[in-house]
Structure 1
Amino acid sequence: MQVSQLIGLADCTLSKFDLERAKEACSWIEDVTHSRLNPPSDQMKDQKDVQRALKDGQALCALINTIQPGSVKKVNQSKLAFKEMENIEMFLRACKEYGMNEVDTFQTQDLYETKSMYSVVNSLHILGSLARKNGFSGPTIGVKLAEKNVRMFSDETLQAGKMVLSMQFGTNKGASQKGMTPYGATRKM
């Protein structure tokens, strides 16, 4: 990739980042875990502050362990890069085991190298929605996820439905292109 393409890509991911939404997610983490991030959510000014607060993965592991106790067995306290990334990986694995879809998670580099902080924030909001759906009684964020709405129809109703011909089967009545000028021909005004 050329430098101009990389700059364009960075601008794209930066434009998707929403600081207010990120602050909401970080505030939620603080509320659920009963501990303050560093920097605290109310003092965050940009995506670097959000990244700095979550980079070591300890707050994320504490979050998932509060929502689903025992999800992450051992949280690394070390400040070595590979140990911090391991915390993030364990958080992501626990989220998938909790029921989060693979497409809703982020990559470790998205957080650790500030590559895609909007993905991190989106994942946290989805985790909040999933926690609400799974019956977590603490504070939640995100939208309410849909519940299953299973419908049972009698055989008589199913047979009656097979007798109806919908417009999807096609018709020779209605709008057509008959009489229109052929492609490429001039129109007379």
Structure 2
Amino acid sequence: MASTRATKSGFAAEAQMKINSKYNDQHAHEVLDWIATVTGDSIDTSGDMDSLHETLKDGTILCKLVNQFQAGVVKKVNTSTMAFKCMENINNFLKAVTDFGVPTQEQFQTVDLWERQNLTSVVICLQSLGRKASNYGLPGIGPKESTKNIRNFTDEQLKASEGVISLQYGSNKGATQSGINFGNTRHM
């Protein structure tokens, strides 16, 4: 577990401090509040790193959250506190999130949450999932995602552009470099 590891030092400590400096308590509070609303659980929504980690660490709330999106998407939620069972819950959550359309660059790795390595990425993943919530009839967080706006053009409209010469092809108007002669001419 993370509590039995030695404290980081040197470059590792600097890198961890840089990662931790990006953490935003307000965003974490919004995400935890949203999770409490969707799941109906009473959880600590203070938003500090400790409360976020302790609330989500075992993965049961995350599995319950994605099961609100689609019933039975996580078939078995492990209630054991053994490390690998908790990490399996987190991994099942990540598989479900991928199916719901959260991009992989907005997801986190299991160890980011379990070992508290990068809680900022956990918050980003949950915010991205929160934007998808309105597509499943649940209250969402953050800006509403855009929808398709398909346009159909007639053949006449498409052919109208063929008579226009783009400026990318150049122009014979305007200033040219003809007649420019700087300095002395080249003598052979």
Matched, 1:104 2:106: yes
Query: Is residue 68–residue 98 contact of structure 1 (8 Å, CA) maintained in 2?
Result: no
Identify if the C-alpha distance between structure 1 residues 173 and 120 changes in structure 2 by more than 3 Å, giving closer, same or farther: farther
Query: Is residue 48–residue 114 contact of structure 1 (8 Å, CA) maintained in 2?
Result: no
Bigger Rg, which one:
2
Unaligned runs of 5+ in 1: 182-189
Q: For residue 53 of structure 1, report the CA deviation from its aligned partner.
A: 0.8
Letter in 2 for 1:72: V
SS state of the match for residue 41, structure 1? coil
The correspondence for 2:45, drawn from 34, 41, 44, is 41
- Aligned-residue CA RMSD (Å): 2.3
Unaligned runs of 5+ in 2: 1-7, 183-188
| Percentage of matched positions with identical amino acids | 41
Give CA deviations for 1:52-90 in whole Å, capped at 9, x if unaligned: 110000000000001211110000000000000000000
The number of residue pairs the alignment matches comes to 173
Map 1:1-189 → 2, pairs under 5 A: 3-37=9-43, 40-42=44-46, 44=47, 46-132=48-134, 134-136=135-137, 138-171=138-171
Identify if the C-alpha distance between structure 1 residues 145 and 174 changes in structure 2 by more than 3 Å, giving closer, same or farther: farther
Letter in 1 for 2:162: K
Letter in 2 for 1:126: S
Query: Is residue 110–residue 120 contact of structure 1 (8 Å, CA) maintained in 2?
Result: yes
SS state of the match for residue 76, structure 1? coil
Name the CA distance, whole Å, in 1 between partners of 2:10 and 2:126: 31
Q: For residue 171 of structure 1, report the CA deviation from its aligned partner.
A: 4.2
Give CA deviations for 1:25-45 in whole Å, capped at 9, x if unaligned: 0111111111122xx113x4x
Name the CA distance, whole Å, in 1 between partners of 2:57 and 2:128: 19
Identify if the C-alpha distance between structure 1 residues 164 and 77 changes in structure 2 by more than 3 Å, giving closer, same or farther: same
